[in-house]
Amino acid sequence: MTAPAARLQTSAVAAALGPLAVRFDVDVLERCVSTNSELVRRAEAGAPSGTVVAAECQTAGRGRMGRAWFAAPGASLTFSLLWRFKEGTVPYGLSLAVGVALAEALEQMGTAQVALKWPNDLLRDGRKLGGVLVELVPGAPHAAVIGIGINLRLPPDMPDEVKALAAALDADVPAEELLARLLAGLHGVLGEFAAGGFHAVRERWLARCAHLDMPVQILSEFSPPLAGRCIGVDVDGALLLETPVCVQRILSGDVSLRTP
């Protein structure tokens, strides 16, 4: 029988954050429905910017478009961060900026060649290493709950169809240090984003784009697949898709590298 994973220690996270510990209020839950749902609830009740909820187990973790997030205890790091921007702003392109922060932090810890797939996935060797789910707080569109999941390892009981598309970290980093390093990276990039929007980190995102200048399909719940060539992203994070007719700005959907 596999021993249960040790619970994240908030004191160890604070120690790893050093002076930045005062910017974050980290709460580790043994179990919750989803860290995003829990943090949205707290945000509506007035939780301050920098509030973090991490969970050992999510009973209904989710990604974009209602997809489930498979996470066995100890096999992934799942947490959500509340960030409040200047009132009156809408954080366009935030999920892409978050991807830059995560990729840079992971690279600094020894995980090489982290690529970014529009709009919210981290890839290694074409497989999903992690994901981002940004939700705006109802009634406060300047406040964002940023949900993050990173695969630490691929558990034996992971469904084969999921494992075939998944990747995990190389570096054997304690979960507390990993969380602290990711939060530190987010602190820096979110500061840049607050000052200059997505434009401030756009070139860094493009340098890691997994599908730049490649033929792709855009898949959506509400329209047929749209094929074209990815030629980058706009200053607000919209995907730029070159089609035989024109260049289209794509604001929602998923990128597929499987062309017709």
Residue 142 belongs to domain spanning: 10-206
Tell me which of 7, 41, 64, 229 is the catalytic residue: 64
Regarding whether 220 and 192 lie in a shared domain, the answer is no
Claim to verify: residue 46 and residue 164 sit in the same structural domain: yes
Q: Which residues contact 12 (CB under 8 A, 6 or more apart)?
A: 174, 176, 177
Q: Has residue 70 been placed in a domain?
A: yes
42 belongs to the catalytic site:
no
The pTM of this model reads 0.91
Q: Is residue 1 part of a domain?
A: no
Residues 70 and 170 in one domain: yes
pLDDT at position 88 = 84
Please tell me the predicted confidence (pLDDT) of residue 112.
Answer: 86
Return d(Cα 144, Cα 242) in angstroms, integer. 31
> How many domains are contained in the chain?
2
How far is the C-alpha of 124 from the C-alpha of 113, rounded, in Å?
7
64 is annotated as an active-site residue: yes
Pairing of strands 51-55, 25-29: parallel
Instruction: Give the active site residue among 127, 128, 163, 229.
Output: 128
Active site residue 86: no
Domain-embedded: residue 88: yes
CATH at 40? 3.30.930.10
> Within the chain, which residues score under 50 in pLDDT?
1-5, 64-65
